[in-house]
Structure 1
């Protein structure tokens, strides 16, 4: 087993701190095989009952990408209507996706019906399949950051429309649609914090003791 010393732990903390949800991408293409390599790393993540329910769809087709972009635009316009006053003005200024600029697009689904793992750990909490996929996404995100590649999670989408656009089984559940590429700028603060939408709370705000 490799030794993880204090220097490594410090660098690992830096990786966590500099992992950002990227929405502004350079146009540089990703190296050949980069997405496949990152997905291989993602598949090292833990999964309930070793079910490995993650399903990665690399979206290269321009028409399918456009369908996702059109859906984002419609959903984003609808979301704007839920805000009022200054908050609506701020929302309208936010850049919430890099769908046009990012060279890489990956949709990640959870296959809750998979028979791999024989159902271990899912009888009382079937949602563990989705949680397992999220661990894979996080693993991929950190691996990408370590290579200087950014990821942006696009959640302002209609899952059914995306599934139709990508022609995947309807019983797969969309976990996230991700833009992937090299960031325009680097910052250790979330963009939504920099734009004044929200600020990060201290860890102590999220801890209970019983």
Structure 2
């Protein structure tokens, strides 16, 4: 323990948010999120660590119902293609609920901004660090949402170029995530994919090594 550590209660709250974060698909239809809460969530995302202080993110709030339905249709098309690619697990996959685009209170598209090539610091040999930085922003938003009692789901079932065109993104910008956000009926104790018998998390010990890859 150091002089810079949080109090016991504060530490428990941080670890609780991490442990109880879930990738949510079921939302309360017709619900709302207060503007001040949205401001806090976006501020949390914007505070994320980012290589070379490049801040490679853009947060697009989707308030046009027509756009929301077009995004949903795009995701639904990719859902079918993903099922085809899964072969013998196709029917099982199609039984899963994989998004809440039409039900969530708020819909965001989070993207990599254009002009990222100008940032060399930290990216010369690892250009994908821009994506890593955006992922940190999404995780910040996710944890902050959990502390506000809101569910959040990351949807990646879309063709990036089509979504970029739909949202008039400039050349070089790339959508990373469709984010569903809002009140939810409940937070399950285990990840949704475990409850749906799709996949199961493996223990930490399998992922930790020392000095060499084992």
SS state at 2:80 partner = helix
Q: Does 1:34 align with 2:31?
A: no
Which residue does 1:167 correspond to in 2?
A: 168
**Which of structure 1's runs of 4+ aligned residues deviate more than 6 A?**
none
Which residue does 1:93 correspond to in 2?
A: 95
Partner deviation per Cα, 1:31-60 (whole Å, 9 max, x = no partner): 124323211111111111111111111111
**Alpha-carbon distance in 2 for matches of 1:6, 1:33:** 28
Which residue does 1:4 correspond to in 2?
A: 6
Given that 2:114 and 2:171 are in contact with CA atoms closer than 8 Å, whether structure 1 keeps it comes out as no
| CA 115–79 in structure 1, closer or farther in 2 if over 3 Å, else same | closer
Aligned pairs for 1:108-123 (under 5 A) are 108-111=110-113, 113-114=115-116, 118-123=119-124
Q: CA deviation at 1:63?
A: 1.4
Residue 16 (structure 1) aligned to one of 10, 15, 18: 18
Partner deviation per Cα, 1:112-137 (whole Å, 9 max, x = no partner): 62478x53111111111111111111
Partner deviation per Cα, 1:137-194 (whole Å, 9 max, x = no partner): 1011100110001110011111111111111113112211100011122212110000
Q: CA RMSD in A?
A: 1.8
SS state at 1:106 partner = strand
Given that 1:103 and 1:180 are in contact with CA atoms closer than 8 Å, whether structure 2 keeps it comes out as yes
Out of 36-45 and 144-153, give the one that drifted further.
36-45
TM-score of the two chains, using structure 2 as the length reference:
0.91
Q: CA deviation at 1:25?
A: 0.1
**Alpha-carbon distance in 1 for matches of 2:183, 2:87:** 34
Aligned pairs for 1:51-62 (under 5 A) are 51-62=54-65
**Alpha-carbon distance in 1 for matches of 2:161, 2:38:** 24
**Alpha-carbon distance in 2 for matches of 1:83, 1:53:** 33
Which residue does 1:65 correspond to in 2?
A: 68
Q: Does 1:77 align with 2:80?
A: yes
Q: How many residues align?
A: 208
Give 5+ residue unaligned stretches, structure 1: none
| CA 84–121 in structure 1, closer or farther in 2 if over 3 Å, else same | closer
| CA 206–112 in structure 1, closer or farther in 2 if over 3 Å, else same | farther
SS state at 2:85 partner = coil
